Amino acid sequence: MSYRLVFTDSYNKKAAKWIKKHPTLKDQYLKTLQLMELDIHHPSLRLHKLSGSLTGLSSVSINMSYRITLELIIQDRDIILINIGSHDEVYRW
């Protein structure tokens, strides 16, 4: 089953800035997005729900240092991308 990634304007700005800052990670980022579309529950994404001020959001890993926070709507198979950055950056959002 595939999912649909929803790119908000806010996320697109953050992602463009992140890619410009980390050009060597662009391929890894794109691979993460492809994997999310194919199987959001793939073990390498390390999908997990967030708590505290980020309750209602989930997170996937690009690598051990960088994350994408997202809103996962299973019913409609939509994944709304919220934020991208280092572990500390996305979790204090």
Number of independent structural domains in the chain = 1
In angstroms, rounded to a whole number, what is the distance separating the alpha carbons of residues 51 and 86? 17
What is the extent of the structural domain holding 29?
4-91
DSSP category for residue 4? E
pLDDT in tens, 70-91: 998 877 889 999 999 998 888 8
pTM metric for this prediction: 0.90
For the chain, the average pLDDT equals 92
What confidence score (pLDDT) does residue 90 get? 86
Can you name the residues that pair with 49 across neighbouring β-strands? 58
Q: Are strands 48-49 and 4-7 parallel, antiparallel or unpaired?
A: unpaired
Cα-Cα-Cα-Cα torsion 20, 49, 93, 28, nearest 10 degrees, comes to -10
Percent above pLDDT 70 for the chain = 99
Q: Residue 52 maps to which CATH number?
A: 3.30.2310.20
pLDDT in tens, 9-47: 999 999 999 999 999 999 999 999 999 999 999 999 999
Question: Residue 92 pLDDT > 80, yes or no?
Answer: no
Confidence band, pLDDT 50/70/90 cuts, at residue 93: low
